[in-house]
Amino acid sequence: MALASRLIRLVCMLMLAGVTLPGFSARAATPGQAIEVVLTDDQAEVQLGPSMQSREDAGSRLDAQAAWASPAGDWHRQHNASINFGFSTSAWWTRVTLRNATGHDLERILDLGSSLLDHVDIHVLRPDGAQLQGMSSGDRLPFASRGENVRTIAMRLHIPAGQQVTVLMRLQSHDGLNEIITPRLYAPEAFTAHVQLETLAFGVYYGLLATVLLYNLFLYASTRQTIFGVYATYVGCFLLWGLVFRGYAFQYWWPDSPDFNNQALAIIVSALYMSLGLFLMKYLDTANSVSRKMHRFAAISTAAQGLCILPAFLNLYAATFIINSAIGSLEIMGLTAIITVLVVKKKSKAGRYAAGAFTTLSVAALLYYLRVLGFVPANALTDNLLQIGSAAEALLLAFGLADQMNTLKTEKLHAERQALAAQTALNTQLESLVSSRTAELEMANERLANLAITDELTGVYNRRQFNKDLAAAVALHTRHQTPAALCLLDVDHFKAYNDRYGHPAGDEVLRQIATALRQQLQRASDHVYRVGGEEFAILLDINEPPEKVERFIMQMLAAVHGLNIPHEGSPFGAVSVSMGLVILKARGASRTATELYSAADALLYQAKQAGRNQVISQTLD
């Protein structure tokens, strides 16, 4: 709880320090007059909510002229950017006066910021009450009734030069559940930019959900594990909810079916709750991880969400969401209690993922409603907190599901290994004598095979294996035009070292150099060979550019020098090596093994002639 509290305070501070919308000039209203908003050319966007007045029409008896003539005392100022009339069967009127302070006509777009208003009548009136413009729209009418072809309800206003107009709006819900509006006034260019940016942001959001959905559908189709199908259903419901709630489904999919649009939203919300409950019960394994009472409570409250769908078919939109909210609250309480038990008492990793997802969505929802109530400023971030929170929640749950699948896979693999080990032990016990003799014979054969290809002193491959591997590498280069690299190296002044320190010390030097070289290798297909007394070879299977191979060989040179083996007979004061490197480029000319070896040997000779303790390289086309 303390972490969630700190997170809420942090996000609030960030948003309060966020983008400030363009300001506007407003004068206090005189009795009987709407508040006046002064419009100028430099205003790209104006929030109208704080300057609007509203009045209730309890019997829905007023027309535009009657509302226009209402006494000043009937009107109450709205002080927030967002306007919410809550649950009310009354009609509601709002008004605001716009004055064109320029010397030319102004064109502005009034955007109510919502796509779900049931009935909206907009009247643009002169100071004498005569109507200049009007529009009747809402999501209970076909989409074509809207003034602008955008997802929200918007209307283009024409304001004559130097004059004032009053925007009078009548809003009424279908059956009492009023939607929140955030009225703004845009210049046409600013409105186009706003719609484009908003479409891009929602496209990213819906694309994210669609990607998670398709990925989990693929997992379900390939593994047939129910949990992936349930999670895909949950993410799919979230995706559909976003498209319907934000008005894109009505705009593009069923613009002539307003009743279906409202029914679809109610049904999707119920399905969302049900799929969330089913997923979390399966993901958290509530049937085995918590008490039977807690599991049954979560299961019953989840199943009860199906009852919320019935009112939607009877066109009872508000009833659907009232029942949905009540049952959903019980479901969330039950799931929260389960998550708390798993996190606090059982230290469940799955519970921590679920707690993080729930907390993220809860914080986003809390901040969103604080924005609705006016405690947090309305801007592009706060208007879309539910989408941000839901996307974060979906990702956290997806990560949790992936982690759980990896854990189960590891446990299954461990169990299979234990079963295999037990079976092997049993077979070994039953056939102990034969297996023992067979193992001894195989070990002897392996030792013989290793002795045949391994240098006895250094433990690296010997000249016989080198000849075989070099021939294979050259054949592969010739057949498939793949790159290859051969490096020959020789210990500098090694005879002088043996003369001064003795042959046993010289043998130890060869062993240390072989170990240092082998430790530098990065691929299983790369090998070190002892091909002579103090001469070694390095055969590399490469796919990097020549420059990178040269740097790698230089690292080997440095590794030998880093041994810091004293050598008073060397001008360098320590044991060093000289190296000749030949690189065969891909799609180069064919070479024989002898030609490749001779080229590397010649480069090694050049390195010695040039002063030793260095690499001379050549790339052959």
The answer to whether the beta carbons of residues 457 and 511 sit under 8 Å apart is: yes
Q: Which contiguous run of DSSP H or E holds residue 435?
A: helix 432-453
Helices (H), strands (E): how many in the chain?
19, 17
Q: Which contiguous run of DSSP H or E holds residue 155?
A: strand 154-159
The neighbour count for residue 545, using CB atoms within 10 Å, is 13
369 φ, ψ (degrees, to nearest 5): -75, -25
**Sequence-separated (6 or more) residues with CB below 8 Å from residue 430:** none
Q: Which two tokens stand for residue 251?
A: 């705009």
The answer to whether the beta carbons of residues 187 and 111 sit under 8 Å apart is: no
Q: Which amino acid is at 442?
A: E
The neighbour count for residue 128, using CB atoms within 10 Å, is 6
The neighbour count for residue 603, using CB atoms within 10 Å, is 21
539 φ, ψ (degrees, to nearest 5): -110, 120
Q: Which of 534, 547, 568, 595 is catalytic?
A: 534
**Sequence-separated (6 or more) residues with CB below 8 Å from residue 217:** 228, 229, 232
Q: Which contiguous run of DSSP H or E holds residue 577?
A: strand 577-584
CA triple 481-469-531, angle to 5 deg: 130
SS3 281: helix
Question: Would you call 534 a catalytic residue per the annotation?
Answer: yes
Question: Closest Cα partner for 121 from 31, 60, 41?
Answer: 60
Rounded distance between C-alpha atoms, residue 499 and residue 437, angstroms = 48
Question: Closest Cα partner for 290 from 328, 331, 343?
Answer: 343
Instruction: Give me the active site residues, please.
Output: 534
